[in-house]
Chains A and B, each alone.
Chain A
Amino acid sequence: MARIRTTVDGLVYEDDVEPRMLLVQYLRERLGKTGTVIGCDTSNCGACTVHLDGLSVKSCSVLAVQANGSEVLTIEGLERDGQLHPMQQAFHDNHALQCGYCTPGMIMQSIDLLGENPDPSEQEIREGIEGNLCRCTGYQNIVRAVQDAASKMKPGASATADSGAKQTVAGGGA
């Protein structure tokens, strides 16, 4: 057993874990954060994407012990005071999902993308989410949702949006 201390979605956790425990298992089975899902066994699908110290990773390909001392942000940590993150809202508004299984990873990776590049072209969006597979939508509405979120998350884009909360969770290259 190894002792780890992590901050997950703003709360500090300390746990003894087996070294072989994957970060995604730790999030789901130990912390009950089942919003992050496991899609494949080959590191291809990206459904398990979370942010580790501000950068997106596939949590099935990181050991929980490697996250010791780190900050983890999952899909469950995006909402603020009952308000969806603008990226979550954009996926909802643009019907960017059918079965929804890829959605948590898509949203986490899309937020990371906008952290790197706040105003991506369609091609840049498609390349930015190339590590996330969707087998339902053909990606069209996912790309539209990211474009929509990008326009709303631009600095000064909307005086009504809760821009302070957005910035604290935007992550990406921050």
Chain B
Amino acid sequence: MIPAQFDYVRPTTVEEAIQALRDGGDDAKLLAGGQSLLPVLRLRMADPSLIIDLGGIPELKGVREEGNEVVVGAMTSHYDVTRDDTLRQHVALIQEATKTVADPQVRHKGTLGGALAHADPAGDLAAPALALDAQFVIAGPSQDGSGTGTRTVGAADFFEDYFTTAIGEGELLTEIRFPKYTGWGARYEKFNRVAQAWSIVAVAATVKVDGGTISDARIGLTNMAGTPVRARAVESALVGQSATEENVRKAAQAAAEGTSPTADADAGSDYREHLARVLTGRAVLAAAG
């Protein structure tokens, strides 16, 4: 099927995009890479009257270092994330997870910001963003309504529910700021049925190992609730332990604590809890290896 009719604008600055959102009202929709939005439009699950294409705004693309952070423009493609040397060195976990998103064609066009703003609970990038304590920079109308301002939201507050984020009416995500995790090991362990399928459950783990001992650990779970979940009980159980298989598997037993996984045709809730424990063990061991 083809999408229902809509008007189309392609702003060249964030300010123009905010203005277009203001003009378009409730019925405007932002187009990033389009790899979730286009299928939705084609299935007629949405029929916005205005599409605002963010593809022509140079300031939204690219990766840069700023002090102790790595800043990724929201319109940076998955493909560019997977190839970026700065991310490889300082934020390996987001790169490892991005390599598993969909398939090569989708990664060429899809964007980090688009995927995070879409906030599909089975999407692969929210859990690493949460584990890494990413900060989300959101642009919108300024308080007095005369211009444009920005605000920053932490990952723990950004993901609110299924397909729901802290991005409000008239706002757009401009960049994602990651603290540096230089020298940390990272692994995204994903369980799905067939190639290019969504994660049934996946685990994003990054750990710091000093002389064989885990000195810090961050773990995020994909598809274990409507939003990504931090496996904090596992994180604290790991710190101070030597990175042996026995220790890691024991700590990973707490991985499903505080989760509320769905049940669907792929897996029941208890099976998802089992997967979270098994995949957490695998991910931490690989990250520590």
Contact = CB atoms under 8 A, between A and B. Distances in A.
Contact of B104 (A19, A41, A63, A131): A131
Interface in B80-118: 102-106, 108-109
Contacts of A52: 108-109
Contacts of B103: 46, 130-132
Given A19-B7, A41-B43, A65-B53, A58 B2 contact: no
B2 A131 contact: no
A109 B104 contact: yes
Contacts of B271: none
A22 B41 CA distance: 11
A49 B10 CA distance: 24
Given A43-B39, A65-B53, A130 B195 contact: yes
A131 B196 contact: yes
B4 interface: yes
Contact of B38 (A2, A63, A112, A126): A63
Given A19-B7, A61-B39, A131-B106, A44 B196 contact: yes
- Name the interface size band of chain B: 20 to 34
Contact of A63 (B4, B34, B39): B34
Interface in A52-97: 52, 55-58, 60-63, 65-66
Contacts of B42: 22, 41, 60
A20 interface: yes
A37 B150 CA distance: 44
Nearest to A49: B105
Contacts of A126: 195
A19 B8 contact: yes
A42 interface: yes
A65 B8 contact: yes
A131 B6 contact: no
Contacts of B196: 44, 130-131
A19 B7 CA distance: 7
B79 A55 contact: yes
Contact of B102 (A19, A25, A112, A131): A131
A142 to B, nearest CB: 13
A49 B6 CA distance: 25
A62 B258 CA distance: 39
B55 interface: yes
Given A20-B3, A25-B2, A130-B196, A58 B34 contact: no
A22 B3 CA distance: 9
- Name the interface size band of chain A: 20 to 34
Contact of A41 (B1, B7, B8): B1
Given A43-B35, A63-B38, A66-B55, A58 B5 contact: no
A21 B2 contact: yes
Among A41, A49, A112, A130, max chain B CB count under 10 A is at A130
A20 B6 contact: yes
Contact of B109 (A19, A25, A57): A57
Given A55-B79, A62-B109, A65-B53, A113 B38 contact: no
A42 B39 contact: yes
B202 interface: no
B255 interface: no
A109 B196 CA distance: 15
Interface string B1-41: 11111111010000000000000000000010011001101
Interface in B29-87: 31, 34-35, 38-39, 41-43, 51, 53, 55, 79
Interface of A: 2, 18-22, 25, 41-44, 46, 49, 52, 55-58, 60-63, 65-66, 109, 112-113, 126-128, 130-132
Shortest beta-carbon contacts, A-B, top 5: A131-B103, A19-B8, A130-B195, A55-B108, A61-B38
